[in-house]
Amino acid sequence: MMSEVLSDRPTTSRTSALSARPSGPEPVLRVQNLEVTYYTDAGRAKALDDVSFTLSAGEKLGMVGESGSGKSTLALAMMRMIKPPGRIEAGRVIVGDTDLTGLDDDAMRKARLSKIAYIPQGAMNSLNPVMRIGAQMVDAVKSHMNGESRSSIGDRCAHALKSVDLDASVFRMYAHELSGGMKQRVCIAIGILLNPQVIIADEPTSALDVVTQRQVMETIDRVQKEINAAVILIGHDMGLMAQFVDKVAVMYAGRLVEVSTVREMFTDPKHPYARALISSLPNLDNKGVFQGIPGLAPSLLRLPTGCAFHPRCTHAMDICGTTRPEVRMLASGRVVTCHLFNEEA
């Protein structure tokens, strides 16, 4: 397996790997060297560590990793919604030609929904229980488009509800009158009200049954194609990722350890952690056999020296315990953060 991993040699260093762009359309989203730290009584925890990636219009990226790996922190950092004791220490988030990290608070508030939208993890708790759905949608539009007429706002809200397969009667309902799947689709409808360029969906199918999960994912897929937005799908369900995304990014201890196409990730993962994740999925060849990842994810307050994954890695070398691996772009265009891909290894 070691020779198999080493066969795909890197062609660029860390700096060029981060700045290199695949041939194709200009990225609509560029995340550059993003870092987030939480300052707690127990110490300093770096939740995001030098995260960089790009996404084109109409492209879907799946963000996976164990709980605590930094997926939701990444989403909140991109929306500039990190609250104390957290702090965005460095990096840029550029949507189109707008650097969100350089905007003042009022400009950033206007950028939310219009340029970048966030579909929260808990739709059950995201809607105001004492306001009708329509009033919440109208408020969202009015806060961004002061001169819009009532009829135009009503048409926009009706179109958004129709886009997510909800009846117009939902406009007059309260959240408690809706099922879990309907609430989630209302959140999607609010997210697409102003046709954002980027949509972040943070575990949009959690707490839903499998049939409703499928319906919600098909809704996201359909509205994404309608407005040609880039989508980041955060979650743990690798089956949903396999069906709905174009690329998969694997996070571990606040770092992106591998980014590749969904087909490459499921057929030939490179990073040892990505391999372990894929190997832990149930399959028909090994019925009744469960293969987990040994050990536990490290505390962000006490990360191991060198590579954070090396205490659990079956391919660990001496250098892994002392030197932090850099980002590498392989000849295939995949991005991997691992010493196994150093030319010197």
pLDDT at 21 over 60: no
pLDDT in tens, 98-109: 999 999 999 999
User: Angle CA(81)–CA(84)–CA(86) in degrees, nearest 5?
Assistant: 75
Q: What's at 127, amino acid-wise?
A: L
Residues 6 or more apart whose CB falls under 8 angstroms from that of 256 comprise 51, 52, 53, 249, 250, 327, 335, 337
pLDDT at 14: 43
pLDDT at 214: 86
Give the global pTM.
0.88
- Average of per-residue pLDDT values in the chain: 87
Top pLDDT among 205 and 34 is at 34
pLDDT at 287 over 90: no
d(CA 99, CA 247): 24
pLDDT at 54 over 70: yes
pLDDT at 117 over 80: yes
pLDDT at 7: 39
Top pLDDT among 313 and 124 is at 313
d(CA 255, CA 155): 43
- Count Cβ neighbours within 10 Å for each residue of 44-67 and write b for 16 or more, e otherwise: ebbbbbbbbbbbbbebbbbbbbbe
Residues 116, 79: contact at Cβ < 8 Å?
yes
pLDDT at 232 over 90: yes
Helix, coil or strand: residue 202: strand
What integer is the mean pLDDT of 165-181?
93
Residues 304, 298: contact at Cβ < 8 Å?
yes
pLDDT at 67 over 80: yes
pLDDT at 343: 61
Residues 300, 322: contact at Cβ < 8 Å?
no
pLDDT at 2 over 50: no
DSSP state of 241: H
What integer is the mean pLDDT of 28-49?
94
pLDDT grade for 145, boundaries at 50, 70 and 90: confident
pLDDT grade for 147, boundaries at 50, 70 and 90: confident
Top pLDDT among 22 and 42 is at 42
d(CA 14, CA 213): 38
d(CA 241, CA 256): 17
**CATH numbers and ranges of domains, the chain:** 2-115+196-341 (3.40.50.300)
pLDDT at 42 over 70: yes
- Write the secondary structure of 130-186 as one string of H (helix), E (strand) and C (coil): CCCHHHHHHHHHHCCCCCCCHHHHHHHHHHHHHHCCCCHHHHHCCHHHCCHHHHHHH
Closest CA to 338 of 10, 50, 18, 1: 10
What integer is the mean pLDDT of 251-275?
94
What integer is the mean pLDDT of 279-304?
82
pLDDT at 15: 39
